[in-house]
Amino acid sequence: DTGVSQDPRHKITKRGQNVTFRCDPISEHNRLYWYRQTLGQGPEFLTYFQNEAQLEKSRLLSDRFSAERPKGSFSTLEIQRTEQGDSAMYLCASSYGTADSNQPQHFGDGTRLSIL
């Protein structure tokens, strides 16, 4: 399967702990996105990379959140000092885009984070 892969699928942690999620995009895709989805809502944009450059961050992404995409390949999303409100599904998506067009985004199955 050459789709978007996310690890872990589930993460349970205590409030105040740090967590890190990994996303492996489709190999030929140059764009990578992180979204957050809570129950009954659509995904909300968090941040976006084109190759290794982080080009946009949502206001939802507080200073406790950091994302990286070293060498323009896989990406990690870290949440420091987790809070109850961080409980959600964290989705990663990738696509191929140019200055003239955007291709549809392909999503992974997400990491479900539960804060105790």
The one-letter code for the residue type at 46 is L
Taking the least distance from each CB to other proteins, the nearer of 37 and 76 is 37
Beta bridge partners of 41: none
Which pair of structure tokens corresponds to residue 51? 């190759």
User: According to the binding rule CB under 8 A, does residue 114 interact with other proteins?
Assistant: no
Ranges within 28-67 binding other proteins (CB under 8 A): 31, 33, 35, 40-45, 48, 50, 55-56
Q: What is the C-alpha to C-alpha distance for residues 31 and 102, in angstroms, rounded to an integer?
A: 10
CB of 2 to other proteins, least distance (A): 15
Type and span of the H or E element at 6: strand 5-7
Of 34, 114, 106, 110, which is closest to residue 76 (Cα–Cα)?
34
CB of 16 to other proteins, least distance (A): 27
> Footprint of other proteins on this chain (CB under 8 A)?
4, 31, 33, 35, 40-45, 48, 50, 55-56, 91, 93, 95, 97, 99, 102, 104-110, 112
